[in-house]
Structure 1
Amino acid sequence: MAKVAVVTGSGNGLGKGIAHRLGKDGFNVVLNDINQEAVNATLEEFKNEGLKAIAVKGDVSKREDQFNLVKQAVKEFGQLDVFVNNAGIDVVSPFMEIDADQLNKAFSVNVHGVVFGTQAAANQFIEQGTKGKVINACSIAGHESFEMLGTYSATKHAVKSFTHVAAKELASNNIRVNAYCPGVAGTAMWDRIDEEMVKYYDDLQPGDKYKEFVDGISLGRSQEPEDVANLVSFLASDDADYITGQTIVTDGGIVFR
């Protein structure tokens, strides 16, 4: 029987790339996004390629939506093997302008979503009595705190901590919990970050900040979704069964840990 993987935030961007790779690896894939139009379009693309997948709309910040996502995966495919907590949002602002709304929104998606997704997946793995993999979206901002990205960096540091704690507590249930930490990618998220940065720096033109980040990458290019998907593919495989509690940087050489 084919293994089953859930990927949140897979309507586009890195999540879509991860879901596509897992589908190519032979997984039955459960696509998930808060954007119904995006996730439906991705589902059609996958079906046209012969990949076996379903789409479930949901808000990762809501615990009931995460548990329903697992329920729908099991209803369709009979089991769950891998849960990828990919969904997240970016936040750009000076430290002195951080407010309660910004904090609440960012933490509800980036942190609450990871906690609730991990709980839902672990509950299913324990019920099945099988091993399971939870793979979280951290970031280089979970290892290094970046100016103008204070709230985002704080959420990713929290993801790193919850990854460590969940790995320790769930190991006895044969559950591995790891995280991937992307760097700078040419995605819609980085387009938004670049656009927001321009508002706060008089000497910046659109694209300048993105170029500055890319110029600092040791391997000389920005990240592609496949670069992240390759790592997730490995962590989801049996070859990574002896790895847990790790937050692995995949950034082409920006931060070194």
Structure 2
Amino acid sequence: MARETDNRDRDAFAGGVAVITGAGSGIGAGLARRAGELGMTVVVTDINQEGAARTVGEIEAAGGKAEALRVDVSQPEELDRLAETVFARHGEVRLLINNAGIETVGYTWEVPAARWEATLNINLHGVIHGVRAFVPRMIESGKEAWIGNLSSVGAFGAMPAQTAYVVTKHAVQSFTECLYLEMQLKGLPIHVSAIVPGMIRTNIFNAEAGDGEPAHSQAHRRAMFEMMRDYGMDLDEGCRLFLEQMAEKKFWAHSQPDQSEQIIAGRIRFLQEQIPPIMPDIALQIARD
């Protein structure tokens, strides 16, 4: 069964060009490595040039093809330049994954304006302008293509002290749903997926990722980091599952469907019964610690 799925991956993606933002580390790097394994030419973009180069080195060491480009997705003009460069160099893009994102921790009124703006610009506007920059060229090529936008299980719930991140993921999820419908309405051969990571082992909660946050946010970061480290899914396994589901043209691409279903069920209850927001157990645990 796994071999058949792997063949579907290769049938869909081998020989094509993949563009992945925020691919210098974390889920972006995992997706880039997997795309390389499937025989794609991977354009690895990240604001961290060294991180992007490291991912390219890993892909090439495994026999794949990749190139690194420094891109700041918070700047729409950089995404325009990226699209122009990639299409001029390669002629088409088969797989676009708008992955770049940061976690922000702190109470809503304590997060500095600069950190709020960075979170909105990277997590949300980076996705919106990635689509805006690439889709017209994808349409013009007339080729079948895939777009994956990084949502989260956080898109279906609420988490105190992670408000900035959760707000962006709710918005990305809605944006991706609308984008899917637009492709249907226009009859375009572009398949859209919401990539929904659950608890996956990445560095998103590392202490150094919290520059510009309130000082007391570090305890929250440490608790979340330790939970992901101890109970999270292997990164490469999650990324393999994401690309399998995208190859199957599924809108929903989950790492841990059971975890997603549990959180979505809570959201459904909240909306149907119009009860107050439900406090996550982990939030209470962190507050006690």
TM-score with structure 1 setting the length: 0.85
Deviations 1:112-146 (A, max 9, x none): 00001112221111110122211011111111111
Secondary structure (helix, strand or coil) at the match of 1:97 reads coil
Ranges of 4+ aligned residues in structure 1 off by more than 3 Å: 192-198, 204-215, 251-255
Is 2:216 the counterpart of 1:199?
yes
Aligned residues: 245
Matched-pair contact (CA < 8 Å) for 2:201–2:228: no
Equivalent in the alignment of 1:148: 161
TM-score with structure 2 setting the length: 0.76
Within 2, Cα distance between the matches of 1:163 and 1:32? Answer: 21
Within 1, Cα distance between the matches of 2:142 and 2:170? Answer: 31
Deviations 1:64-96 (A, max 9, x none): 211222222223333111100010011000133
1:187 to 182, 202, 227: 202
Aligned CA distance change for structure 1 residues 11 and 205 (closer, same or farther; 3 Å) = closer
Could you say what the CA RMSD is over the residues aligned between the two structures, in angstroms? 2.6
Is 2:89 the counterpart of 1:76?
yes
Aligned pairs for 1:121-136 (under 5 A) are 121-136=134-149
User: Whose Rg is larger?
Assistant: 2
Q: Which runs of 5+ in 2 are unaligned?
A: 1-13, 265-289
1:65 to 71, 78, 89: 78
Within 1, Cα distance between the matches of 2:60 and 2:209? Answer: 34
Give the Å deviation of 1:207. 4.5
Deviations 1:27-60 (A, max 9, x none): 1111000011111122122222221111111111
Within 1, Cα distance between the matches of 2:112 and 2:152? Answer: 22
Q: Which runs of 5+ in 1 are unaligned?
A: 216-220
Within 1, Cα distance between the matches of 2:232 and 2:140? Answer: 41
Matched-pair contact (CA < 8 Å) for 1:185–1:224: yes
Within 2, Cα distance between the matches of 1:108 and 1:164? Answer: 20
Aligned CA distance change for structure 1 residues 206 and 113 (closer, same or farther; 3 Å) = closer
Secondary structure (helix, strand or coil) at the match of 2:42 reads strand
Q: Greater helix percent: which structure?
A: 2
Within 2, Cα distance between the matches of 1:177 and 1:209? Answer: 30
Aligned CA distance change for structure 1 residues 210 and 27 (closer, same or farther; 3 Å) = same
Equivalent in the alignment of 2:244: 234
Name whichever of 120-129 and 177-186 sits farther off. Answer: 177-186
Percent identity of equivalent pairs = 29
Within 1, Cα distance between the matches of 2:19 and 2:42? Answer: 6
Secondary structure (helix, strand or coil) at the match of 2:67 reads strand
Aligned CA distance change for structure 1 residues 236 and 68 (closer, same or farther; 3 Å) = farther
Within 2, Cα distance between the matches of 1:114 and 1:72? Answer: 18
Letter in 1 for 2:65: K
